[in-house]
Amino acid sequence: MENGHDGCRAQHGYTADKQAYLRRLRLIEGQARGIARMVEQDEYCIDIMTQISAVTSALKAVSMALLKDHLEHCVAAAVREGGDAAQEKFDEAMTAISRLAR
């Protein structure tokens, strides 16, 4: 699977757990639809915010798991190769971590 990201050419770090990720994302999608239904049905604000918080937490958990897979697979492969590829993957990972920390 050629994707233009050196160090991740053969497969992505999450490939082995792809079905589990998809299952989790479908559950989150269902939660988001449930929130929309709550708004349509004029549910109590605090209840809606509670559900939004749950979806946010679930998305953060997925993103952290993906980041872990990326570090263990793509970044580790780049480090083994060394050179500029290692620094590029490190910088890419730091950018992703910064985005998640916001």
**What percent of the chain is modeled with pLDDT above 70?**
87
Picking from 28, 27, 50, the residue whose alpha carbon sits closest to that of residue 38 is: 50
- For the stretch 21-50, pLDDT in tens is 999 999 999 999 999 999 999 999 999 999
Residue 73 and residue 15 in contact, taking contact as beta carbons nearer than 8 Å: no
Instruction: Provide CB contacts within 8 A for 66, sequence distance 6+.
Output: 13, 14, 21
| pLDDT at res. 16 | 76
